[in-house]
Structure formats: structure tokens, C-alpha cells
Chain A
Amino acid sequence: MLEIRSARKVFYKGQADEKVALDGLSLSLATGEFGIVIGSNGAGKSSMLNAISGALVLDSGKILINGADVTAMPVHKRATRLARVFQDPMRGTAASMTVAENMLLADLRSQKRTLRQGLNATRLASYRERLSILGLGLENRLDTRVHLLSGGQRQSLSLIMAVGGSPDLLLLDEHTAALDPRTAEIVMQATVRAVNALKLTTLMVTHNMQHAVDYGSRVIMLDAGRVLLEITGEEKARVTVLDLIGHFSVKTDRMLLAS
């Protein structure tokens, strides 16, 4: 379960270019719920994700994961509870290390790292099995250094790394945006399969309205650092791409009027 209570973050406070990134944003996501976050550029989507992961320290407000207050926890401590897939395939993996070593790092995310040997036969077998689900042949390339993989392969690896160990919360930050349509579809399908199979509490940021319509149990639209709109249940089931785009234009009109 994820709970954000009136989160507020202001960049360049007191300067001419002051920017309110999060303006008392509140949000709650029940355990096992799959939330889709949409919103125009600068609406606060990335700030929200960074605040949840700990990369951004809030000015005020609280963040709770499964009831535990993580507001003051540094990134590496929160990592034991949450996993994240970045938009940029380069950010989520260690390029100069092998596929197996990357899997090992993800495997140890929520454990205490010991002085025992990292890669052993048991682990390698389990990585082979987990990677074979993708059908990209990564299971035969465990000793390949990640920088030799394509963007799509790297992103698929990031996804497998993130969902392994069933994190309390999975954050997907436009994770298919940098991929070609076919690869994006493969990664998206793998995401949905994993989220459903493991019943992960998931928050996915996307600019793809079709994805917002097709997947998830709730659409959350952000605007100017707060939640503008939430679509759930029956309404979510009936919503169309055009409806969603309509909500964007309402905001654009208001922006025009305001300017």
C-alpha cells in the first residue's frame, strides 16, 4: 500500500524562477492496485515518483509504504521496499557488468549483502529461468556485459530485475517510452503479466493514452503538482482514449485563459 499525504515540494524557493513541483499532493493506492499516472509535461509526475523513491526530499508532507513512514529514509534504504524502472534503459542497469551480475544486484536489493560468493549455481539457474520468460534469449547471455545489449533488451532486463523479489511497490517511469513500438509492446506485456501474477502494487507513469485505457485499475491525472482527476471502477472500464485527451484539453483551455 502506498499513501502520500499532502506532499509539497518547491524548487528554487524565493527566487524569480520559483517552481511548485508538488502542491499538497495526496494519493493512496491499495495493496495490489495498478495505478496509471498521466498528465502533461511539468505536471509533477516525475517529481512525485522521485519523492516516492527518495531521490527528492519533500518540503512537507508524508509518504507511507505499507503503513511505514519512509519520508526521511534515504534512497538505498527505501530500495528494500520498492523497485523502479526508469525511462532511460541506461539508468536501470550497470553497463560494464554482466547480465548475471545485474540480476544478482537486484536479487540482493532487500537483503543484507554478505561476504559469501555472489554468483553460485543455484542463483544462475534461477536467473536463467526468470529471464527465459521474456523470450528474448537473455537466458543464454548471462555472461554478456549489459552494454552489448540493445535498449529493449536492457529495459526488459531492468523489468525482470525490478519485479524479482516482489517489491511492496513497483514504480514504472514511462518505461516503454524510449523503445520502438514492437519492443515497447513486448516490455509492456511482460510488465502486465508480472504485475498480475505477483499482484504487485504498481504506479506507472505514461504518456501513452492507449496504455492508460487498456491497463490498470485506476487512472490518476496530475496537474500543477496535485491530483486533478481520478478515474476508477466502472468509469475506468468505460473510459476511452478520447475521454482522456479531453481532460488534457480542458486544462489547456484554462491555461490559455489564464495567460
Chain B
Amino acid sequence: MGFVQDVLTSFVAIIPVTLAQSLILAFVVLGIMIPFRMLNFPDLTSEGAFPLGGCVCGVLLAAGASPLVAIMVAFAVGFAAGCCTAFIHLRFRIHTLLAGILMMTMLYSINLRIMGKSNLSVFGSPAVFDWVPFTRPGFPASKIAVAGLLALVVFLALYMFFRTEKGTAVRAVGANPDMAEAQGINVWAATIGGVGLASAFSASSGALMVQSQGFADVNMGLGILINGLAALMIGEAVVGKQTVWRQLLAPFAGAIIYYQLVSFCLAAGMPPPDLKLATGLFVLAMLALPSLKRSRGSAPAREAIRE
């Protein structure tokens, strides 16, 4: 009993810290979900856009810029990175995944160039979290308030957008690009804009993370994609994805649940190096589940395999 109690005590103690972290990282999950589910454009750019946002924010903070300006610039730079990925795919007909890999590889060098070194401490620089009243700076409550408020605003804004005439058109591009084009929708504009927006969210998440942890690192994006995917899978399993409301809620719910699960595993004594293997196996299981349900054991027919 002593072990269980210890695990629970240490888990409960870090719930607020984990919640703050997960709300910040929920924007990466959102940045993975939008291209993947709304545009049918599996995208890996977020692995590069997240540290890109972090590096840009770090450099700006070090130069004395306002933390809000730093986030807005990170958002814009992330948007540009996403637009590049979409353009590479559309113009040269390169597979979306390969376009994303190319972009995130190139972004690594760009991130290093931006910072000039592999990590940068911005500890003591002002952060948006300092502006929350009635909380002590540096404590999770202020981070939860800021990230939670941002998440709420972004969620509602996206929900409203996808119900508008323009938003419906963007979803049509993901559902059936040929049909969308035949209905007068500019597929290029919708894809570039949508993937750009997704990367902008990933980059903003990186910027928030830098302000939260007090340093920027070019390697901060390592494995963020698979974590985000795992969070998305959990979110979709819990809240579903049948409607726009549920599909948009899934990244946020998923991020919150996933990071609590991770922190529980760590509290229970799982060695941190094993975490990636566990996450990978989990994502694999979630992706494989539909196919296992359909055909008991045997691999699906070749035609059924989707890109």
C-alpha cells in the first residue's frame, strides 16, 4: 500500500504543473489535427514549427521585446513555415509527409541560425503569465489561466469559423478536393491557409513553452509530433470526431488527458527513456484498432491501405 500511496501523492502533487504544460501543448495537438482531419493533409511541420516558435520567441525576449509581441511574431513565422509545406506539396506534387519532413529538417538549421546557438536562457525575462492578477508569477495557476483562456478563445473562434460559408468550403477541400474545386473553391488557397494556420498554432505553442520554462532549445521539438498524435488519438477516442464541435474539442481534451497519463506513468516509476516507446506503441495501437476490428488478424487488402 505504501507504494500506491507514494505514487498517488507524487502524481497529485504535479497535477497543476502538468495541466499548465498540457494546455500549452494543446496548441501543437490542434496544429496536428487541423491538417490531418480537416484538410486530409497529414503534416509533420509541427515538429519544426514548435521549436521555430520557441527560438523566435527566445531571441525576441532576449532582445527585450514584449512577450505578447514575441508570441505574435512566432505565430506569423509559424504561419509562413506551414504555407511553405503546403506550397511544396501543391506545386511539386510531393507527398504531404515528405513535404513536412523536408520542411522540418530545413527548419532545424533555420532555428539554429535564428538563435545562433543551440539554447538560450530567457529566465527572468517578462512572460505573458506575469500579467495574470492575483497569482504569483512562475506558479502554475497563472500559466493555467493564460493558456486556458487562449485555448477557449481559439476553440470558439475556430468553431465559429468552420460553420461559416468560408469554413464549410475549407472542410470541403479536405473531404473531396475534386468536388471542392468543381464547386468553385480555390483548393490552393484553402490548403495553404489551413496548413499555415496549423503551423502558426504549433509555433505559438513553442513560444508559450519558452516563456513558461524560461529557455529556448533547438531540440525542444524532438518527439513533439508523436506526443501530439497520441494526445489527438486519446481525445478522439474520448470525445469523438463526428461533428465539428467534437473534432475541435478532441485536441484540447486529448492533450489534457495524455499529459496527465504520462505524468502518472513517470510517478509510477516508468524510466523516462521508455516513454517514447510506450507512446509509439500506444499510437500504433490506436491507429491499428479499426483495421483489427474489421478483419480479424489478417492484413487489410492492398486497396484498403490509405496513404
Contact = CB atoms under 8 A, between A and B. Distances in A.
Given A93-B176, A94-B175, A108 B182 contact: no
Interface in A193-247: none
A110 B182 CA distance: 11
A8 interface: no
A96 B171 CA distance: 9
B184 A97 contact: no
B163 A79 contact: no
- The majority secondary structure among interface residues of chain B is helix
A75 interface: yes
A109 B165 contact: no
B15 to A, nearest CB: 37
B182 A116 contact: no
A21 B155 CA distance: 50
B164 A116 contact: yes
B232 interface: no
Interface in B173-187: 175-176, 178-187
A84 interface: yes
B60 interface: no
B135 interface: no
Interface string B169-204: 101100110111111111100000000000000000
Contacts, number: 84
A81 to B, nearest CB: 9
Interface residues of B, number: 22
A49 B187 CA distance: 21
B166 A97 contact: no
Contacts of A96: 175
B164 A105 contact: no
Contacts of B163: 117-119
A113 B183 contact: no
A95 B175 contact: yes
A10 B187 CA distance: 26
A6 interface: no
Contact of B179 (A77, A93, A113, A114): A93
Given A76-B187, A94-B176, A104 B181 contact: no
Contacts of B172: 94, 97, 101, 105
B168 interface: yes
Interface in B132-182: 161, 163-169, 171-172, 175-176, 178-182
A99 to B, nearest CB: 13
B175 A109 contact: no
Contact of A79 (B165, B176, B181): B181
A91 interface: yes
A232 B306 CA distance: 48
Interface residues of A, number: 30
A118 B43 CA distance: 28
Interface in B220-270: none
Interface in A73-95: 75-77, 79-80, 83-84, 91-95
A92 B183 CA distance: 9
A106 interface: yes
B79 to A, nearest CB: 19
Contacts of B161: 115
Contact of A80 (B167, B175, B178, B184): B184
A105 B185 contact: yes
Interface string A115-154: 1111100000000000000000000000000000000000
Contacts of A114: 164-166
B166 A94 contact: no
A79 B181 CA distance: 8
22 contacts: A75-B181, A75-B182, A76-B181, A79-B185, A83-B182, A92-B182, A94-B176, A97-B168, A97-B172, A101-B168, A101-B171, A105-B185, A108-B165, A108-B169, A109-B184, A113-B168, A114-B165, A114-B166, A115-B161, A115-B165, A115-B166, A119-B168
Interface of B: 161, 163-169, 171-172, 175-176, 178-187
Q: Which 10 A-B pairs have the closest CB atoms?
A: A79-B184, A94-B175, A113-B165, A94-B176, A118-B168, A109-B184, A75-B181, A96-B175, A105-B183, A118-B165
Given A92-B182, A113-B164, 12 more contacts: A53-B182, A75-B181, A80-B184, A95-B176, A101-B168, A105-B169, A105-B183, A109-B183, A116-B165, A117-B165, A118-B168, A161-B183
